[in-house]
Amino acid sequence: MTRGRHGHTARPYGGPRKVWHPTSEDDFCERCGLPIRWAWTEANKKMPVDPDEADRDDAAANLAVWRNHLRRLCVRVITAERPLLGFEHRGIPHFATCPPLVAERDAKRAVRESRRAAAAATPDVTEPEQLRAARRGEDLPS
Ligand SMILES: [Zn+2]
61 burial (CB, 10 Å; 0-12 / 13-18 / 19+) is: buried
Q: What is the pLDDT of residue 136?
A: 78
Q: Identify the band that residue 5 occupies on the pLDDT scale cut at 50, 70 and 90.
A: very low
What integer is the mean pLDDT of 114-129? 79
Give ion ligand 1 contacts, CB < 5 A.
Answer: 29, 31-32, 98
Q: Is residue 78 a contact partner of residue 57, using CB atoms and an 8 Å limit?
A: no
Cα(46) to centroid of ligand 1, in Å? Answer: 15
pTM of the model: 0.66
Query: What are 74's strand-pairing partners?
Result: 40, 66
Ligand 1 midpoint to CA 42 (Å): 22
Query: What is the whole-number distance in angstroms between the Cα of residue 121 and the centre of ligand 1?
Result: 37
- The alpha carbon of 91 and the centre of ligand 1 are apart by a number of angstroms equal to 15
Q: How far apart are CA 118 and CA 107, in angstroms?
A: 16
Per residue in 43-79, pLDDT (tens digit) is 999 999 999 999 999 988 999 999 999 999 999 999 9
Domain boundaries, the chain: 25-97, 100-135
Kindly give the distance from the C-alpha atom of residue 36 to the centroid of ligand 1, in angstroms, as a whole number: 8
